[in-house]
Amino acid sequence: MAKKSRTSRSGLVAAAACGVAVGTAFGTFVLSPNLPGGALQESHDAVVALEQSEQEARIAKAQASTADSYIEASSTKFVADALKDIPVVVMTTDDADADDVASVDTLLQASGASVVGRIGLTEKFFQQDSAEALKSIVANTLPAGAQLSVDNLDPGTHAGEALGAALLTDAEGKPMADEQERALLLNALQQAGFMNIEGAKDAARVAIIITGEQQHEDNSDVISPYAETNLGRLALGMNERGSGVVLAGRINTAADGGAIDVVRTAQERDSGSAQGAIRGVSTIDSVNMVYGQIGVILSARDQLLGKFGAYGAAESAEAAGP
């Protein structure tokens, strides 16, 4: 009988606990809507806030699209003759959006620029397991007189220094490599699968590098910090040896670890040095927007004047455009 009594008491305790739980749930989810701060009221407020945020985002996107369309109608006028007869080389990564590239090409034509070459950097160029092969080719085909950094040994920096010397002129507009030296480096890189080349027989005054969102690892959805870092260092390396470099991408490339972020961070860090004060890579983080595409052309023009800046819509940009 004692055992039965304990079982009965346990049942009563369980029933009481169940009753408390049911009562709590009833009070929370049935009665609380009538009380300020109730769970359902808080949930309702969160839904309303989310809907308002989504509506505001849609409005902002529509306004930006409308403004961009308005600017597009006059975009060629903004850049007319800005680069008249200036030799330019256009470089693209494998993830660069075709429409972004085409839009920049249209404005280059309107600017009067002479596009002397197009170079498509392949995915292999930015793969970590290809780093030693890339560095070996660069070291063995380096144009006469060109030097590679002994402090920064990464493939992005070394490739940038070699390509800067091969593709670009010096500040006075004089080629730093002859046509044979240029061809030796570029053909070796193309044969090894690092790039595809169209033209590029003559030296350029400015290199425009166009990338996409952020580069990924082996066609996956995983962002490749290695690729982004080396793209940024490629641009910095070219700038160290050549006359002018513009790096343009979409806004994600200005996020932490993106190629544009790598460049902006490095230049901000070095801004107190004499070299940092003289020249730098111009960056545009909104190349998919018309104002960003205009910024690419005007930044290239400013490079010829010894000016550079960080442009676009990211927090790290100093202005929308030059």
Residue, of 2 and 59, whose pLDDT is higher: 59
Question: pLDDT value at position 151?
Answer: 87
Q: How many CB atoms lie within 10 A of CB 268?
A: 13
Distance (Å, rounded) from C-alpha 248 to C-alpha 260? 8
Q: Which of these, 167, 170, 208, lies nearest to 184 by C-alpha position? A: 167
pLDDT value of position 4? 41
pLDDT > 70: percent of the chain: 73
pLDDT digits 0-9 by tens, 47-85: 777 766 666 566 555 555 566 665 767 788 999 999 999
Listing DSSP states for 20-63 in one string gives: HHHHHHHIIIIIGGGSTT-HHHHHHHHHHHHHHHHHHHHHHHHH
Q: What is the average pLDDT across 118-133?
A: 96
Cβ pair 155, 126 in contact under 8 A: no
pLDDT tens figures, 157-167: 999 999 999 99
Given a contact cutoff of 8 angstroms between Cβ atoms, the answer to whether 130 and 124 are in contact is yes
The owner of tokens 């983080």 is: 285
pLDDT in tens, 8-27: 434 433 444 444 444 444 44
Q: Looking at residue 299, what is its pLDDT? A: 97
> What local confidence, expressed as pLDDT, does residue 271 receive?
73
Look at residue 11 and give its three-state secondary structure: helix
Residues 6+ apart with CB under 8 A from 220: none
> What confidence score (pLDDT) does residue 25 get?
44
pTM for the predicted model, two decimal places: 0.78
Mean pLDDT across the chain, nearest whole number?
83
Question: Cβ(155)–Cβ(230) under 8 Å?
Answer: yes
Q: Say if CB 209 and CB 117 are below 8 A apart.
A: no
- pLDDT band, very low/low/confident/very high, at 138 (cuts 50, 70, 90): very high
SS3 295: helix
